[in-house]
Amino acid sequence: MHDDPAKPARRLIIAIDGPAGAGKSTIASRLARKLGYVNLESGAMYRALALKAIEKDASFDDESALVAMAQDSRIELEPTIGGNRTLLDGRDVSARIRERDVTEAASRVSVHPKVRAWMVSHQRAMGEGGGVVMEGRDIGTKVFPDADLKIFLDADPVVREQRRMEQQKIKGELAANVAADLRERDRRDRTRATSPLVAAADAVVIDSTAMSEDEVLARVEALAQAKLR
């Protein structure tokens, strides 16, 4: 009995962490497509829970209510050619969870230790067996501390703000609000007691301030291919 030569010998778990606006989602999505992996998007999972909290008029500060809601939810990521679809209890909420009210709510929902613990166990189960690229704030430190490859993607805060504004096609007063939101999310992410945003000791730190998206992707893909060899 011979192994199928077309079947890869091993499938990596790749963790990409970094602050808001660093380009993690785009790089993770493109890398997953290139490698034929699933892109496990942690942010989308928190956003889905935040949307449920909004719809049920639950307090973002009520940790036990949020955990109960999470346990009663079915949050799924379904890979497609154009990226993930996010399903909440079987309903496609991919577009809705990108709206500003959900973005802000997700940042508040994600600070609770018990909510994060539920998410981590859910994410680990989804990533078992490898063949996944996962991005977030604490993937290499908390979710997959034994990941085969850990990347910490960072960029100058001003550059990150500009990228986010271009991505959302906004300017003027609304742009100033988005910049303020981004700075506040940075502060919350870096100072929270549970799983603060920090590069894992064994992560490869990539500063994308002066790099194009294609250059970052090429660098990360080269690191992945080196691991596979």
Q: What is the pLDDT of residue 93?
A: 98
Q: What is the pLDDT of residue 175?
A: 66
Q: What is the pLDDT of residue 194?
A: 74
Contacts of 102 (CB under 8 A, 6+ apart): 47, 50, 51, 54, 96
Q: What is the pLDDT of residue 1?
A: 47
Domain ranges of the chain: 13-222
Q: What is the pLDDT of residue 160?
A: 84
Q: What is the pLDDT of residue 81?
A: 75
Instruction: Record the tokens describing residue 133, joined without a space.
Output: 């690229």
Superfamily of domain 13-222, CATH level 4: P-loop containing nucleotide triphosphate hydrolases (3.40.50.300)
Phi-psi region of 179 (alpha: psi -120 to 50; beta: other; left: phi over 0): alpha
Burial 66-84 (b: 16+ CB within 10 A, else e): bbebbeebebebebeeebb
Q: What is the pLDDT of residue 142?
A: 87
Query: What pTM was estimated for this model as a whole?
Result: 0.73
Q: What is the pLDDT of residue 45?
A: 93
What is the mean pLDDT for each group of 10 consecutive residues in the chain (229 residues)? Answer: 55 93 89 89 92 97 97 89 87 96 94 93 88 90 94 89 73 71 80 80 95 95 95
C-alpha distance across the termini of the chain, in Å: 24
Q: What is the pLDDT of residue 159?
A: 85
